[in-house]
Amino acid sequence: MTNRIHSGAVIYAKDIASVSRFYAEIAGLAVSHQESGFIVLESPGFQLVVVAIPAHIAAQVQVASPPERREDTAVKLIFLVPSIAAARSTAARLGGALNEAGREWQFQSYRVCDGNDPEGNVIQFRENAL
């Protein structure tokens, strides 16, 4: 991938392989680097680094099945996808979830839907509505 990253995010995860696979497939990100404690995913101009939660903290983190959304956070990642309906199906297959179609809304020139990754981190998906 490119060395010219313009924006990005870091997300901490108990299971970095599962969380990375989720974002790679649903957001079209490619693995550009991997080590035992983190996985770097990229697309042109954006980088998502999935970092393993330290073992002493991870031991206290419980991830339910299905995961409970962690909505009490100040940040929500947003990803543009070709189709929210396809993202909903992909999310379910990979252990995440998107709200049902009836809870989608219009924002600017996008159709928008919230969801969560396999560990409950809240995310938003947008598709072009034009």
Rounded to an integer, what distance in angstroms lies between the CA atom of residue 28 and that of residue 11?
17
DSSP assignment letter at 40:
E
CATH number for 45: 3.10.180.10
Structural domain contains residue 34: yes
Q: What is the pLDDT of residue 3?
A: 63
| 22 touches 95 (CB < 8 A) | yes
Structural domain contains residue 22: yes
Domain count, the chain: 1
Structural domain contains residue 29: yes
pLDDT band at 59 (very low <50, low <70, confident <90, very high): confident
| 37 touches 76 (CB < 8 A) | no
Structural domain contains residue 1: no
* Cβ count within 10 A of residue 76: 11
Predicted structure pTM score? 0.88
What's the token pair of residue 106?
A: 């219009």
Structural domain contains residue 46: yes
**Segment 76-129, tens digit of pLDDT:** 999 999 999 999 999 999 999 999 999 999 999 999 999 999 999 999 999 998
Structural domain contains residue 24: yes
- The domain in which residue 115 lies consists of 7-128
Structural domain contains residue 2: no
Structural domain contains residue 86: yes
Q: Which three-class secondary structure string do you get for 41-97?
A: EEECCEEEEEEECCHHHHCCCCCCCCCCCECCCCCCEEEECCCHHHHHHHHHHCCCE
Q: What is the pLDDT of residue 71?
A: 80
